[in-house]
Amino acid sequence: MVGLGEDNLELDEMSAYLTEDLETEIAHGIEVSRLAGRLAKELKLDPDFCHDIEVAGMLHDIGKLRASTYLYGGDDDTLNVEKMRYVRMHSSLGYEVVREEGYSDRICEMILHHHENYDGTGYPDNLIGEEIPLGARILRVCDVFAALTSDRPYRKAFDNATAVELLIEEVRHFDMKIFLPFQSIVHEEILEREKEKMAAETVADMKNGGAV
C-alpha cells in the first residue's frame, strides 16, 4: 500500500487549500480541464459536453477565491474544523460565481458537485451513484489525480503509476464506468511520455555521436 500515511486523499486535498498560490491553482485548472476533456472524448460524449467539461475543469475551484476570505484570515496554517467547513463551501461558492456569470446549467452543476463521492460520502449534497451529474463524476477522478501528480509545499508530486494506486485505494469514491477508462488514459500517457523520452535520448545520442 502506497498510502498517504494515516491521512486520506481528502485531507491531502484540504491541506492544499491552505498552501496553494494562484499560479498553482491555474495550472491545476488547466490540467483538470485537459484530463477531463480527454476522458470525455474517450467516453464518446458529444462535442458540446466535451466543451462544457473543459470549461468546468478550468473553473471547478473558482469558489476558493470567495472561500479564501475565511481561510486566510487566521494566524496559523493548521487545518482546523472551522477552516475545513469553509473549504467544503468552495463548491457551492463556485456554483454561485458561475451562475452569476451566466454559464450553462450543465457547467454550473458540474462545479457544484465536483466533490461528491460515488459512495455518497462527498459534499455538498451527499449525492450517491448516478445521482451525481456525469460531468461531476468525471471531474472528481481527474481532480484528485491532477492534485496527486503535482508538487505541494508539504510533499513532492507522486508519479502517475503511484497516483493510480492511491486512487485505487479510494476507488469507492469513483464511478467504475469512468475510473476504468481513466486508468487506460493514464497508461497511454505513461507510454506516450516514455516514447517522447526515448526519442529525445536518441536525438541526444545522435548529436553526441556527431560531435565525436
CB of 91 to Fe ion, least distance (A): 6
Within 10 angstroms of residue 68's Cβ, the number of other Cβ atoms is: 15
The single-letter code of the amino acid at 62 is I
Compare residues 44 and 148 and give the one whose CB is closer to Fe ion: 148
CB of 146 to Fe ion, least distance (A): 11
Compare residues 79 and 212 and give the one whose CB is closer to Fe ion: 79
Q: List contacts with Fe ion (CB under 5 A).
A: 61
Asked whether the beta carbons of 148 and 158 are under 8 A apart, the reply is yes
Give the DSSP per-residue string, 50-76. Answer: HHHHHHHHHHTTTHHHHHHHHHTSSSS
Within 10 angstroms of residue 178's Cβ, the number of other Cβ atoms is: 21
Compare residues 84 and 190 and give the one whose CB is closer to Fe ion: 84
CB of 175 to Fe ion, least distance (A): 17
CB of 96 to Fe ion, least distance (A): 14
Compare residues 38 and 64 and give the one whose CB is closer to Fe ion: 64
Residue nearest to Fe ion (CB): 61
Angle between helices 134-148 and 22-42 (to 10 degrees): 130
